[in-house]
Amino acid sequence: MEKGKNIVTSNNVTCSGGYRMKNHEAIDRSKIRILLCDTNAESCEEVSTLLCECSYQVTSVWIATEVIGVLNSEGPHVDMILAEVGLLVADDAWMLKFIMGDKELQHIPVISKHISTSILGRAVKRTRLIKLNS
């Protein structure tokens, strides 16, 4: 694995395909599949670009119905869902109900981003400047 392309876990983790990782084993980030859900296309593209730069596999969707389509076709292979808060709670949280109602999808962690894109952008720019100056 290339330097900077993996992370080390301190717990047992199950990745797509059912592979169980042991304590302190390196995870190849290029094998982690993330479903990114954001109704703001600009924000979605920015976050997707950042995740891809970190070697993650990213599928981006902007509409709630596309989330269901991706989960129906790729669901068991998705390792994590990053979703905008509004998308999660829209229409009586039907997206969360769909995920929790499907035995093959229940294991997928759903993480909600509730941070302003401008704040995230400033943090990333600072991080890049620090790396350049190091």
Rounded CA separation 91/17 (Å): 31
Asked if pLDDT for residue 91 goes beyond 60, the answer is yes
Q: Taken in order 34, 39, 43, 44, is the CA torsion positive or negative?
A: positive
Rounded CA separation 33/17 (Å): 11
Are the C-beta atoms of residues 16 and 79 closer than 8 Å to each other?
yes
Q: Are strands 80-84 and 33-37 parallel, antiparallel or unpaired?
A: parallel
Which has the minimum average pLDDT: 31-45, 87-101, 114-128? 114-128
At residue 1, the pLDDT reads 42
- Residue range 9-56, pLDDT digits in tens: 445 555 554 555 555 567 788 999 999 998 888 888 999 999 999 999
Rounded CA separation 132/117 (Å): 22
Are the C-beta atoms of residues 16 and 76 closer than 8 Å to each other?
yes
Tell me the pTM: 0.66
At residue 86, the pLDDT reads 74
At residue 27, the pLDDT reads 79
Which residue ranges form the domains of the chain, and what is each CATH number? 29-133 (3.40.50.2300)
Rounded mean pLDDT of the chain? 74
Are the C-beta atoms of residues 9 and 28 closer than 8 Å to each other?
no
